[in-house]
Amino acid sequence: MNSQADWAEAASQIQQQLGQGWTQAFESFQRMAGAAGTPSASPAAPIGFDANKLQELHKAYVAEAAELWNKGLQDGKAADRRFAAEAWSSNPVSSFSAAIYLLNARTLLGMCEAAETDEKTKGRLRFAVEQWLAASAPSNFLALNAEAQRRAVETRGESIARGVQNLWKDLQQGYVSMTDESVFEVGRNVATTEGAVVFENELFQLIEYKPLTSKVHERPFLVVPPCINKFYILDLQPENSLVRHLVEQGHRTFVMSWRNADESLQDKTWDDYVGDGALRAIETVREIGNSKQINALGFCVGGTILGTALAVARARGEDPVASVTLLTTFLDFSDTGVLDLFIDENFVKYREMHLGRRGLLKGQELASTFSFLRPNDLVWNYVVGNYLKGETPPPFDLLYWNSDSTNLPGPMYAWYLRNTYFENNLAKPGKVKVCGQKVDLARIDMPAYIYGSREDHIVPIGGAYASVNHLGGKKRFVMGASGHIAGVINPPVKKKRSYWTNDALPRSFDEWLAGATEHPGSWWTDWITWLKPHAGKQVAAPKSYGRGKYKPIEPAPGRYVQAKA
């Protein structure tokens, strides 16, 4: 094409083709809509479309596509970071393919919004389209990725050879590498805070940490981490370890290290995790610390287990915990975000049929589910880097932990799925019995510190806030910046991010946020200040681990955390 007239004629032809392409795209979208409505084999709700919105989308699509064509494959830089490298903008064909892809993506997502159906079906449709878009990006294919092609030329093919080696390695291990795992070793450079295992049963080991101060608070502190991950997210390295921070602040600290479930645990239930897990740990820490009450923290699912355990204890007339801290925790599952899209009666029944009596939910299945909630960041980003560019991902302790998955007993998982995510029974006073006791969250009447992360995609901030409407004691809610993990692991020394406070606790999170005050830095400082009055007076730090019948079994972090899924 050598003249403006040639471009004009081509543009006219492309506009005609775009009309046909729109029709084909719409038909494909309808097929996708039908599939998206049934991720768990439930009957799909009817899906219609607003004709006016579709017409507007059609007009906008043709106009934008014609504008791109009329530019004549001119250089252009995309705002999307997948296409931000200079190699994309300097290659007119690659730049054009990225621009067309982004236009298609905007249009398909616009069609999602034009769909007329119930909110859950629309959410499923949007999720399916987002997954398809993430997978079909031109950056994911060597034949279309200008940056990977340039790397191959510059390295004389070495990047492709390394990419094949990376792919073969990941195929053998069964998941996409997010970090250089060879750099890390549990107990050597992650989970390094000094301590000893002082109790164990078939579900968990209890680790006591060595005091770093001459005096400690008289009330010991117990941490209940999530059982769907390993505890050392709270003890990655000295500079970002919540465990070490607690010890440095003079708290005699204990942490549960859940066992990575194998066939010997495949019949364990939610009752077992509450009774032989959290309640047993609480009692053991009280005995070792010779203390009538302790303070306790639950993180994510660990917080749900701890909350259930405290409700059981109060139903028994017991009061073993002086204060409770809940980090990114669901007690009320009415707002579970994108995870709600997967869960309905048929999905729950299917899981109960396969896992309700015995069996294991494999850790890699859970890990993959959470990764695909953010597919561009946690899946395709590494596919492109590892395989197309032949890169070794840099060492990152948090991503090493993220890849160290854990199995769950089937019956425990099936009960949790139905009674929390699907039926939200924990939030209904007396609806369920655990360990023989009716659960009523209002009976958890000790002071509570509740933390939620603003950008959390696993426990949305509204879901974290909902706990304030159920717990019976005096409560403090704090919101931190960032997501489920990075928001929690934010040591003060880094001087990063912000947190928000509001002493008023209205029923809705939006009302709370409207009156909240932002503070620079880490929420840890606010929490430690809150915790201190509940920790009791200062006493001499113990000279040895355990007490009485509780003897040191092995050094921290113990052997349970070493087991791989």
The answer to whether the CB of 37 falls within 8 A of the CB of 44 is yes
Say if strands 554-555 and 195-200 run parallel, antiparallel, or are unpaired.
antiparallel
**What 3 state SS string does 474-525 have?**
CEEEEEECCCCCCCCCCCHHHCCCEEEECCCCCCCHHHHHHCCEEEECCCHH
pTM of the entire predicted model: 0.88
In degrees, rounded to 5, the angle at the alpha carbon of residue 304 between the alpha carbons of residues 303 and 306 is: 60
Q: Cα separations (Å) of 190 from 78, 247, 299? A: 39, 17, 19
Tell me the three state secondary structure of residue 283.
helix
CA distance 217 to 523: 21
Alpha-helical runs (H) found in 37-91: 51-70, 86-90
pLDDT at 173: 87
CA distance 143 to 405: 34
Task: Give the DSSP per-residue string, 321-372.
Answer: EEEEEEES--SS-S--GGGGGG-SHHHHHHHHHHHSSS-EE-HHHHHHHHHT
Q: Tokens 């655990």 — which residue?
A: 434
pLDDT at 366: 82
pLDDT at 19: 43
pLDDT at 76: 59
Chain region(s) in the chain for CATH 3.40.50.1820? 195-362+407-562
CA distance 339 to 421: 8
pLDDT at 15: 42
CA distance 298 to 227: 11
Distance of CA 542 to the CA centre of its chain: 37
Domain 195-362+407-562 matching CATH 3.40.50.1820: the answer reads: yes
The answer to whether the CB of 437 falls within 8 A of the CB of 465 is no
Closest CA to 236 of 179, 281, 191, 176: 191
pLDDT at 77: 66
The sign of the dihedral angle between the CA atoms of 366, 372, 376, 377 is negative
Q: What are phi and psi of 434, to 5 degrees?
A: -130, 130
pLDDT at 66: 81
**Amino acid of residue 243:** V
CB atoms within 10 A of CB 525: 13
CA distance 491 to 495: 8
CA distance 125 to 119: 10
CB atoms within 10 A of CB 423: 17
Say if strands 321-327 and 294-299 run parallel, antiparallel, or are unpaired.
parallel
In degrees, rounded to 5, the angle at the alpha carbon of residue 275 between the alpha carbons of residues 271 and 277 is: 105
In degrees, rounded to 5, the angle at the alpha carbon of residue 551 between the alpha carbons of residues 220 and 208 is: 35
Q: What pLDDT digit, counting tens, does each position of 268-293 carry? A: 999 999 999 999 999 999 999 999 99
CA distance 159 to 148: 8
First to last CA, the chain: 59
CA distance 45 to 200: 49
pLDDT at 75: 55
565 residues of the chain, pLDDT tens digit each: 444 444 344 434 434 444 444 444 444 454 444 444 444 445 556 777 778 888 888 888 888 888 877 775 555 566 789 999 999 988 888 888 898 899 999 999 998 888 888 888 888 889 999 999 999 999 999 999 999 999 999 999 999 999 999 999 999 888 899 999 999 999 999 999 999 999 999 999 999 999 999 999 999 999 999 999 999 999 999 999 999 999 999 999 999 999 999 999 999 999 999 999 999 999 999 999 999 999 999 999 999 999 999 999 999 999 999 999 999 999 999 999 888 888 889 999 999 999 999 999 998 888 888 888 888 888 999 999 999 999 998 999 999 998 898 999 999 999 999 999 999 999 999 999 999 999 999 999 999 999 999 999 999 999 999 999 999 999 999 999 999 999 999 999 988 899 999 999 999 999 999 999 999 999 999 999 999 999 999 999 999 999 999 999 999 999 999 998 8
pLDDT at 79: 77
The answer to whether the CB of 324 falls within 8 A of the CB of 303 is no
Number of H helices, E strands in the chain: 20, 19
Would you name the residues annotated as active-site residues? Answer: 300
The sign of the dihedral angle between the CA atoms of 549, 553, 556, 560 is negative
